[in-house]
């Protein structure tokens, strides 16, 4: 097995963002990848999750305890509440994942855990659990970038269905979630080039905030999608921030435009046409996400496109990608799009196979950038 390249000898400043690119090993050919069964642990935000995955593809078990009902009363994730809930749930979820896979800890080859990005207090719970397991069992410990894990959910999906082909490199990756909107070019396994990201709100965050403005329930994505089904996407002419010359995104102007329209209507004592507003907002987000992704895929001569993260569950977004025939677009199903630990174990397998081993002194990286 090829050992991982050593870290850069230059001392890093405090709080430095260590990108996996800087420590990425040379990719192994698929035939050279060894077998490996990985226990994955995820606690970066508001899902407590554990899973066992074989060879980065076969999900032997996957458990997710969502805290969404707990946070709904706050209209968003309440960090302190999230970490306390992770502490309550983590042990039983990890035990459950092993039981569901009919395995003991000695039957797995490594423990992979989300190291970042995410909420510091939440990340620490999963990290400490993983360290405890590694220390107690002698298993290797592997810290995983949560965004890299979202990417690897596509390989799990391809393995689930024989009709699906695996993503091909160069691969244009769009990650759209509650906390992230990232455009990344993947040139091979574990090789990332970050092209752009949101300058303000993440796409999912915009869905959540606009839902709140419209009096729709949390999380906003599904409720906006549902409301939009009965609305006209051309009812309101909302702005699209194309940010030409860059691969960045911005959704705060769109959010403010919705707020302004809502206030204008309310000042006239008229009811807000919620389905029309939801449909117009959704159309504006989808236009920009799909338009820029296709343009980037052409510019960088990508073979395929991969869309991951919670917002990729959006039906209008999926339909817009399906409507074009230039690129094969990989979008994992909802169960793999929203936060889960199978994707952590999936990415963990590739890191394990390429020789990554982390020490017990590993700390969480709440602002870890991919690429
Ligand atoms: P994070 O972990 O960064 O919070 P997730 O990957 O868990 O993100 O995804 C959650 C986000 O996805 C939320 O912002 C939610 O509103 C959004 N989302 C979920 N389903 C949909 C949908 N059908 N349409 C649009 N957004 C959605
Ligand atoms: Mg989440």
* Cα 3 to averaged position of ligand 2 atoms, centre (Å): 33
Residue 90 tokens read as 């983590």
| pLDDT for 72 | 81
* Cα 177 to averaged position of ligand 1 atoms, centre (Å): 5
| pLDDT for 24 | 60
Q: Which of 118, 221, 318, 366 to mutate to test the pocket of ligand 1 (most atoms within 8 A of CB)?
A: 221
Assess whether 191 and 50 both reside in one domain. no
Assess whether 187 and 128 both reside in one domain. no
Q: Work out the end-to-end distance of the chain between its first and last CA atoms, rounded to an integer number of angstroms.
A: 24
| pLDDT for 7 | 36
Residue 116 tokens read as 């970042």
Q: What DSSP character marks residue 265?
A: H
Q: Name the domain count of the chain.
A: 2
pLDDT less than 70: residues of the chain: 1-25, 30-31
Q: Does 118 sit in the ligand 1 pocket, CB within 6 Å? A: no
Q: Does 332 sit in the ligand 1 pocket, CB within 6 Å? A: no
Q: Which of 77, 122, 153, 207 to mutate to test the pocket of ligand 1 (most atoms within 8 A of CB)?
A: 207
137, 108 Cβ separation under 8 angstroms: no
Residue 188 lies in a domain: yes
* Cα 205 to averaged position of ligand 1 atoms, centre (Å): 8
Assess whether 184 and 328 both reside in one domain. yes
Residue 251 lies in a domain: yes
CA torsion, points 219, 223, 225, 227, in degrees to nearest 10?
-160
Q: Where are the beta strands (DSSP E) in 37-164?
A: 37-42, 47-54, 58-66, 110-116, 141-145
Q: Does 167 sit in the ligand 1 pocket, CB within 6 Å? A: no
Using alpha carbons, list the distances in angstroms from residue 222 to 148, 218, 314, 329.
24, 8, 7, 22
- Nearest-angstrom CA–CA distance, 305 and 297: 7
| pLDDT for 32 | 76
Q: Which of 310, 313, 318, 368 to mutate to test the pocket of ligand 1 (most atoms within 8 A of CB)?
A: 310
Assess whether 223 and 252 both reside in one domain. yes
**Count of helix runs (H) and strand runs (E) in the chain:** 12, 10
Q: Side by side, which strands form the sheet with 141-145?
A: 58-66, 47-54, 37-42, 110-116, 141-145
* Cα 139 to averaged position of ligand 1 atoms, centre (Å): 33
- Which range of residues forms the domain containing residue 103? 20-165+336-353
Assess whether 140 and 214 both reside in one domain. no
Q: Does 219 sit in the ligand 1 pocket, CB within 6 Å? A: yes
Residue 183 lies in a domain: yes
Assess whether 110 and 178 both reside in one domain. no
Q: Residue 245, by phi and psi: left (phi above 0), alpha (psi -120 to 50) or beta?
A: left
Beta strand 304-308 with 171-176: parallel, antiparallel or unpaired? parallel
243, 254 Cβ separation under 8 angstroms: no
Assess whether 205 and 294 both reside in one domain. yes
CATH no. for residue 120? 3.30.420.40
Residue 30 tokens read as 């698929």
């Amino acid at each position: 097995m090829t050992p991982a390249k050593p870290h850069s000898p230059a001392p890093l400043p405090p709080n430095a963002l260590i990108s996996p690119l800087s420590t990425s090993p040379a990719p192994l050919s698929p035939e050279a990848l060894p077998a490996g069964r990985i226990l994955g642990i995820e606690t970066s935000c508001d899902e407590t999750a554990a899973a066992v995955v074989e060879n980065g593809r076969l999900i032997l078990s996957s458990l997710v305890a969502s805290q969404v009902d707990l946070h709904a009363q706050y209209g968003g994730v309440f960090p302190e509440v999230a970490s306390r809930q992770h502490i309550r749930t983590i042990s039983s979820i990890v035990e459950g994942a092993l039981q569901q896979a009919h395995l003991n800890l000695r039957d797995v080859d490594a423990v992979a855990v989300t190291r970042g990005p995410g909420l510091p207090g939440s990340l620490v719970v999963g990290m400490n659990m993983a360290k405890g397991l590694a220390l107690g069992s002698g298993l290797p410990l592997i810290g995983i970038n949560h965004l890299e894990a979202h990417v690897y959910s596509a390989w799990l999906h391809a393995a689930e269905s024989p009709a699906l082909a695996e993503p091909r490199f160069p691969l244009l990756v769009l990650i759209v979630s509650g906390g992230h909107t990232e455009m990344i070019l993947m040139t091979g396994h574990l090789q990332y080039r970050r092209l752009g990201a949101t300058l303000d709100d993440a796409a999912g965050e915009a869905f959540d905030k606009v839902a709140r403005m419209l009096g729709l329930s949390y999380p906003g994505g599904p409720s906006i999608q549902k409301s939009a089904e009965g609305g006209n996407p051309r009812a309101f002419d909302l702005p699209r921030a194309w940010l030409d010359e860059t691969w960045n995104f911005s959704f705060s102007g769109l959010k403010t435009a919705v707020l302004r329209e809502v206030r204008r209507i309310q000042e006239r004592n008229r009811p807000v046409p919620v389905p029309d507003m939801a449909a117009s907002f959704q159309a504006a987000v989808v236009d920009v996400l799909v338009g820029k992704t296709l343009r980037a895929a052409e510019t960088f001569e990508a073979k395929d496109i991969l869309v991951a993260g919670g917002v990729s569950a959006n039906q209008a977004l999926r339909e817009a990608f399906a409507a074009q025939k230039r690129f094969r677009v990989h979008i994992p199903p909802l169960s793999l799009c929203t936060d889960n630990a199978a994707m952590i174990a999936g990415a963990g397998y590739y890191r394990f196979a390429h020789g990554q081993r982390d020490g017990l002194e590993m700390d969480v990286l709440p602002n870890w950038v991919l690429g």
